Structure 1
């Protein structure tokens, strides 16, 4: 095991349970649930001995937090990724369509990250991890946390909806120039705003639209369900479609094109963008 952090306990007026005392003491694991897991995995030592959740702290103890040594023999998923931005806390990568972000499969973005990103030099460094998800058939920008503090802080930004996400899609059929869709998704309030940027006639579909999308909530498959609900499903969507108007050739035409947020460690407002995939530009030559 590798020593991460250590702490000398000052004198305590009354004994306190270890798992209560060290919440917030170690920057590597700031949460109570994380501390509990670390204790159960024998990663917390008190005075040189493995700690238990039943241990009480009286003062004067020396607490050490460890992390397991990396298993270099573990099979690695070699999959080159485009890294749009990287610093010691976070990264922005471009997820190709047709790959899972995470899960039980070996071929995931999560398993490919260690080969594509530099390890953070911060004390609370962790294996890089996606902070949010994109569907398997969706391409575009994915925000990655590289430290425990970054993962916690970025997750809170998503919860507070202060990270602005922009998507682009190709939709089927005639549409209003802009609109707000508020159909519930999974019985939960949901909102998506859209603007039609370009429309071309189509013999098969009647019309194809290049649409800019801004989801205000983050429900599963929200944009796909919302556009289907107003009668304008996304081209290539095999789950939410109009009978007889399914395209099987080039996958789903949905792309996460932009992320805007305040960098939680530099406090700088940043915007990252990724141009539309070639399959979009083949349909809309001006995009």
Structure 2
């Protein structure tokens, strides 16, 4: 059998049973029950020797996971992603428009992560997971957790509203230079601030605006609903639109352009930006 994944054990303060230490260190057996099954099937090697559930890990061992028959036959989603930041705890990737972040579909960002990111060497390493969402037609920055503790910590940052997200959109119609939108969504408070960056006249749409958006809450489709609510829907939106002002075939002009937060483990300030898609530049040249 081929080796599927390899893990080098760091120095440990005290020995720990393999079936406890090994939880989350491999992508394909990330839970305690799946790890135990793999050990019983003889799929785990420690220093090239088949391991048992009674084995204790002391430090500096090499743990190897053999391919299971199911894994050999499994179809992998190969989809190259642009990685803008990555360390042992988290990553920030660029999500293209026209692909789901997660869900029951095979072709998702979630299913492409293990093919693109380095395996974390932390003890609580898990299969990389997105910690927030971007709509199918939206492009831009997506934050990924690579360990149990980082996923928990990043979710806490979102709950405490200490992650600053900026989006850019092209909206339709005349707009004020800046404003705040405080309109409930699904009976929940929702707040967005915006600032106009540029405006051009359009024969078909009257005015097109390049606008930066800062959501303070994270309701579903918040930016799209809020801009429609003030009479300035996003160009290319087929769900939240004004009759006769639908642009077809170009996609949604909404882009997650920056993320800023304090790294929950290294405590460094993370500020990542991603330039606007080329279709934006055709309307608002650089």
The TM-score with structure 2 as length reference comes to 0.79
Counterpart of 1:277 in structure 2 is 277
Between the aligned partners of 1:234 and 1:107, the Cα distance in structure 2 is: 26
1:6-46 Cα deviation digits (max 9, x unpaired)? 659xxxxxxxxxxxxxxxx98968xxxxxxx967x37679x
1:243 aligns with 2:239: no
Matched residue pairs, number? 247
Following superposition, the deviation at residue 249 of structure 1 comes to 2.2
Counterpart of 1:111 in structure 2 is 111
- Listed as ranges, the matches of 1:1-287 within 5 Å are 7=16, 41=33, 72-73=71-72, 74-286=74-286
Task: Report SS of the residue matched to 1:223.
Answer: helix
Task: Report SS of the residue matched to 2:175.
Answer: coil
The change in CA–CA distance for 1:201 and 1:146 in structure 2 (over 3 A counts) is: same
1:177-207 Cα deviation digits (max 9, x unpaired)? 0000011011100100000000000011000
Task: Report SS of the residue matched to 1:281.
Answer: helix
Task: Report SS of the residue matched to 1:204.
Answer: coil
Asked if the contact 1:28–1:149 (Cα under 8 Å) also holds between the matched residues in 2, the reply is no
Following superposition, the deviation at residue 125 of structure 1 comes to 1.0
Task: Report SS of the residue matched to 2:228.
Answer: helix
1:111-140 Cα deviation digits (max 9, x unpaired)? 111111111111111111111100000000
Asked if the contact 1:27–1:149 (Cα under 8 Å) also holds between the matched residues in 2, the reply is no
The change in CA–CA distance for 1:137 and 1:42 in structure 2 (over 3 A counts) is: closer
Counterpart of 1:32 in structure 2 is none
Task: Report SS of the residue matched to 2:127.
Answer: strand
Task: Report SS of the residue matched to 1:280.
Answer: helix
Root-mean-square deviation (CA, aligned residues, Å) is 2.9
Between the aligned partners of 2:162 and 2:92, the Cα distance in structure 1 is: 17
| Contiguous gaps of at least 5 residues in structure 2 | 1-5, 25-29, 41-53, 58-64
Runs of 4 or more above 3 Å deviation = 2-8, 25-29, 41-45, 62-65, 68-72
Task: Report SS of the residue matched to 1:154.
Answer: helix
Between the aligned partners of 2:280 and 2:183, the Cα distance in structure 1 is: 27
Between the aligned partners of 1:85 and 1:216, the Cα distance in structure 2 is: 24
The change in CA–CA distance for 1:252 and 1:64 in structure 2 (over 3 A counts) is: farther
The TM-score with structure 1 as length reference comes to 0.78
| Contiguous gaps of at least 5 residues in structure 1 | 9-24, 30-36, 49-61
